[in-house]
Structure 1
Amino acid sequence: MSTTQTRQHSQGERPDDTGAFAWLRGLGPRGRRAFGGAFGGYALDSYDFFTLPLSMVAIAASFGLDKGRTGLLTTVTLVVSAVGGALAGVLADRVGRVKALMITVVTYALFTVLCGFAPNYETLLVFRALQGLGFGGEWAVGAILVAEYASAKHRGRTLGAVQSAWAAGWALAVLVYTLVFQWAEADLAWRILFWTGALPALLVVYVRRNVEDAPQAAEARRAGAGRGSFRAVFRPGLLRTTLFAILLSTGVQGGYYTLATWVPTFLKTERGLTVVGTGGYLTLLISGAFTGYLTGGYLTDRLGRKKNIVLFAVLSAVSVLAYTHLPAGANTLLLLLGFPLGFCMSAIFSGFGSFLAELYPTAVRGTGQGLTYNTGRAVGAVFPTLVGFLAESWGVGGALVFGAAGYGLAVLALLGLPETRGRELV
């Protein structure tokens, strides 16, 4: 029996299972519990992240901030997340995926809550930076945990399903934001929204009791191979992969976080929408994102990792240009374009979990994925701040076009990376 067949048999995967949820059944009981933990962690990671973009107008009013300093709150979160993500990746290789996952969740939940108690802008900036330590590590650790349970055949759609948790958390944040800002005055409402970031504590209880590392990862760590280090992913055999993976992540995340940070402000300040109106527009954007994650996961298995990224990089750039250049008063069309915008800019991420995991061997997989994804996030984080400063003269809508340039950078980065579809994790 081949290694692949043995692995499929041990996880309960049937080669003849071609149903819509074959990817989920193929994970086996332990893999499905790991999927639940990673999905919940990423959903709540998203929820805690979006407490800031949704509250930015109220925070700016409370502390008298200009757009540049407001944008800096997002940038510092993403820059520090690079440190948190890289450290979490090494931690995942050294102490295990599950322990690292719990540490990241507790970290981002704690500092999100503390943001709600910030007495001034400087304190909020510090707490938001520390929140980034946990925020940066959760996705990489959770994605690796699930990737090591998934088969090569279904890994793209399995990780795409994990990625869809981002849209679920975003939707929950918008719902809670809408309710809280209708119930309380803005000066208090943004603080309440941050306090609800304590929710992830419940997930940690589930993960601690039910989730464990995939056997091959646990075995590698016991054998002494799981000693991830930053030096290891920059050695000659992996240097090229690491550099181009960072460039890829920078382009995609620079485009994405520009939109995620500034679209709510764009809808309020340049389209004059109310809280409920903004929530309505974001509903289509988030619905498109959820559908995009699932569709992108399917296509990354069908087309390959690189083709999926190229396809949606082009479509995302076109969507940004269309979304931000509609004439004033065309709010109905703006509403309709929200769905394809969310769809395209999310579908491009669906292959990341599988692609980055497949680029690295088990012993340094956490380090490689955590470092490349989060370094790209940190460099891409410069985009929202630049948009904040450019918005003073260009307007938010005009400045958002800058985010589209990131997708062109992502396509160029693919020239230096191999196609990994069908690759077994070893």
Structure 2
Amino acid sequence: MFSWYRQVTAKERKTFWACFSGWALDALDVQMFSLAIPALIAAFSLSKADAGLISGATLVASAIGGWFAGALSDRYGRVKTLQITIIWFSFFTFLSAFAQSFPQLLVLKALQGFGFGGEWAAGAVLMAETIRAEHRGKAMGTVQSAWAVGWGGAVLLFSVLFSLLPQEMAWRVMFVIGLLPALLVVYVRRSVQETDAFLAGQKAAASKPAASTLLGIFRPDVLRLTIIGSLLGVGAHGGYYALMTWLPTYLKTEKHLSVLSTGGYLAVIIVAFWCGCIASSQLLDRIGRRRTVAFFALACVATVLCYIFLPLSDTQMLVCGFPLGFFAAGIPASMGALFNELYPSGIRGTGVGFCYNFGRVASAGFPVLVGHMSDSMPLGQAIGIDAAIAYSLVVVAVLMLPETKGRKMETSA
């Protein structure tokens, strides 16, 4: 399964671990918020819609950050942009611990999201341009599995802190720990090299104004890819965030699970998410990008509907949690390789950052909508309806994109 790792160079391995660590620490910071939603509602007297608004604002900011960071990576380098974005999102996660009001928390979480979206864009292009074509799907999918590692760390941290500390203090300590990812910059500066693809086109890119880099993805020759790729991002993120933002609250408030029991349910989904990423990484280089994404999206629709709407017992829900996490992982694990292979080098960072993160702009409405719908129906039903619609959109979009398996980055167009 991991035999490909022994076939890559030292440069490819160092870049792999830098991106893997970056995504794991990203997930740690982001998932801490969804776990802390009940405590934040109590601390600031928020409604579910207010909590959804914070999540939505973070997603919108991350989309803007991803687009801009992608453009910066096309002009100034993948590695430099990666370092800046890591420091950015770590710093604002830390500041969120000291928020004294709902407006303050809203602004700080939005600023954190700006850096989070940028980190994914820069890291995805860096990894895709460094790894060889025959292993790109496996490497990108495995890097995405780092999300499960960070997610698991967040759940563990949540369980420990909320068991040992008062609720009003525990969530602040969680956000303080969010400063840790900044230490990754030390490793990136010392060990990770700029990609050959970027260096080869650096002179040409330097002569272009910033506006041409940002808007290059809307040229007639790539406009169709940008539109369809963005729709794919909308569906993928919409389903994921509708489900994962509200799942801890759903388990706690409607299933009446204790904190540690909620962590146990999430642990099953998190392990399944990691397994799904690894499975997707293998399928990407075997059956191709389109078939892999379509398979996981269809499976997500069926699994979400069963998980939310069937009258399952606690034990049955625990068992069904594994396929839920497994299939939810396959789509994000596929998008890094697919989006990178759609664009030529000069606008690759911009294209990847826009398509992946544009989905966050539109998908930001899904968590907000879940919050509003839960005022007139059970929270579980609201989550299920939104997620099923979003994953159906993924199927439609991916069938309109070309297959890019094995495509050389320098000839992508």
**Same-fold status (TM-score > 0.5):** yes
**Aligned equivalents of 2:207, 2:265: Cα separation in 1:** 46
Over residues 304-338 of structure 1, what are the superposed CA-to-partner deviations in whole Å (9 max), with x where a residue is unaligned? 1011111010111111111112326x000001111
Aligned pairs (5 A) from 1:196-215: 196-215=177-196
Q: 2:10 — aligned with what?
A: 29
Q: 1:322 aligns with which of 306, 314, 318?
A: 306
The Cα shift of 1:256 comes to 0.4
Does the alignment pair 1:46 with 2:27?
A: yes
Over residues 149-171 of structure 1, what are the superposed CA-to-partner deviations in whole Å (9 max), with x where a residue is unaligned? 22221111110011001110000
**Aligned equivalents of 1:88, 1:412: Cα separation in 2:** 28
What is the identity, as a one-letter code, of the residue corresponding to 2:388? A
Q: 1:264 — aligned with what?
A: 248
**Aligned equivalents of 1:109, 1:344: Cα separation in 2:** 29
What is the identity, as a one-letter code, of the residue corresponding to 2:154? A
Q: Which structure 1 residue ranges, 5 or more long, are not aligned?
A: 1-19
Q: 2:353 aligns with which of 370, 373, 382?
A: 370
**Aligned equivalents of 1:423, 1:255: Cα separation in 2:** 28
Over residues 157-203 of structure 1, what are the superposed CA-to-partner deviations in whole Å (9 max), with x where a residue is unaligned? 11001100111000000001100000101111111111110111110
Q: 2:59 aligns with which of 78, 97, 110?
A: 78
The Cα shift of 1:284 comes to 0.3
Aligned length: 406
Over residues 54-78 of structure 1, what are the superposed CA-to-partner deviations in whole Å (9 max), with x where a residue is unaligned? 0000000111111111111111000
Q: 2:81 aligns with which of 100, 104, 127?
A: 100
Q: Assess if the C-alpha contact under 8 Å between 1:326 and 1:334 holds in 2.
A: no
Q: 1:339 aligns with which of 311, 316, 322?
A: 322
What is the identity, as a one-letter code, of the residue corresponding to 1:60? I
Over residues 246-281 of structure 1, what are the superposed CA-to-partner deviations in whole Å (9 max), with x where a residue is unaligned? 001100110001111000000000100010000000
Percent identity between the aligned chains? Answer: 46
Q: Compute the RMSD of aligned alpha carbons.
A: 1.2
**Aligned equivalents of 2:205, 2:361: Cα separation in 1:** 31
What is the identity, as a one-letter code, of the residue corresponding to 1:192? V
Q: 1:423 — aligned with what?
A: 407
Does the alignment pair 1:399 with 2:379?
A: no
Does the alignment pair 1:180 with 2:161?
A: yes
Q: 1:170 aligns with which of 151, 154, 177?
A: 151
Over residues 48-102 of structure 1, what are the superposed CA-to-partner deviations in whole Å (9 max), with x where a residue is unaligned? 0011100000000111111111111111000111110000000111110010001
Does the alignment pair 1:122 with 2:106?
A: no
Q: 2:265 — aligned with what?
A: 281
**Aligned equivalents of 1:373, 1:269: Cα separation in 2:** 32
Q: Assess if the C-alpha contact under 8 Å between 1:225 and 1:363 holds in 2.
A: no
Q: Assess if the C-alpha contact under 8 Å between 2:75 and 2:205 holds in 1.
A: no
The Cα shift of 1:22 comes to 3.9
**Aligned equivalents of 1:121, 1:237: Cα separation in 2:** 45
